[in-house]
Amino acid sequence: MASPVFPDMLPPSLACSLEDGGEIAVVRLNRPDKRNALDTTLIAGIERLFAAPLPGVKAVVLAGAGPHFSAGLDLSDLAERTAPEGLAHSLAWHRAFERIQFGAVPVVAVLHGAVVGGGLELACASHIRVAERSAFYGLPEGQRGVFVGGGGAARLPRLIGVARMMDMILTGRVLDAEEGQRVGLSHYLVEPDAGLAQGLALARRIAANSALSNFAILQALPRIADVGQDPGLLMEALAAAVVQSDDEAKSRIKAFLAGTAPKVERTPS
């Protein structure tokens, strides 16, 4: 493992190290004694880190230290909050997680153990999710007397549908890793302790794409999916024209036509 970076900029509850000569950043939620509960400091650290990733970083792997990915909102943060304070708190989470979803680089989340409440909201802001078989997903907000506040109401229904989210948050239903894979919470399901290796392997594939392709995929794809077909098709055509006019696209296509670029091959699921 490479040495930690950003030690001055990040709280101790967020650790970042570089792999592959600095092309891949591994970011860890690092409060295992509190099950990586997300407090204000940790959320601010996420916002800072994803607002300005290190130059040269092409993909991020996001994981949790200890037995769980994240227990969600640090409930000790919540005790006596007024409505305006609650609004500001939720907006701070929105800012941080938007930095991930619409940031500069693709993020692969590696999930294990509890992925609950705000921890699930964080996972949903990433682009690819790898779940170890220990992962379980819950929304205990109903039980705790609160509501999702980290973008879950906007992102989760797009992944699993309003009806499934309704069940999870109203009844406290917990999905295990297999169910999570079936309903689309995770893209990959792997054995215990295999998540990080799989996350890194996927991050390497992503980092090998052209930067402009990755930019269009991150920025345009979710927005096109959110608008009607007519504006969506125009947005797609514009994004396609910009991306394919890049020299990188031209040289990659020439390489394929010359027989020197890899063919499409099956990948392990």
**Interacting residue ranges for ligand 1HE, rule: CB under 6 A:** 34-35, 37, 67-68, 71-76, 93, 114, 116-118, 140-141, 144, 146, 148-150
Would you say 114 or 218 has its CB closer to ligand 1HE?
A: 114
Catalytically active residues are 121, 141
Report d(CA 50, CA 27) in Å as an integer: 10
Q: Is the dihedral of CA 256, 257, 258, 264 positive or negative?
A: positive
- The distance of closest approach from Cβ of residue 150 to ligand 1HE in the complex, given in angstroms and rounded to an integer, is 4
Would you say 68 or 129 has its CB closer to ligand 1HE?
A: 68
- The distance of closest approach from Cβ of residue 151 to ligand 1HE in the complex, given in angstroms and rounded to an integer, is 8
Report d(CA 180, CA 156) in Å as an integer: 12
Report d(CA 106, CA 86) in Å as an integer: 29
- Residue nearest ligand 1HE, Cβ-based: 117
Report d(CA 167, CA 173) in Å as an integer: 7
Would you say 29 or 114 has its CB closer to ligand 1HE?
A: 114
- The distance of closest approach from Cβ of residue 26 to ligand 1HE in the complex, given in angstroms and rounded to an integer, is 22
Q: What is the DSSP letter of 57?
A: -
Report d(CA 66, CA 68) in Å as an integer: 6
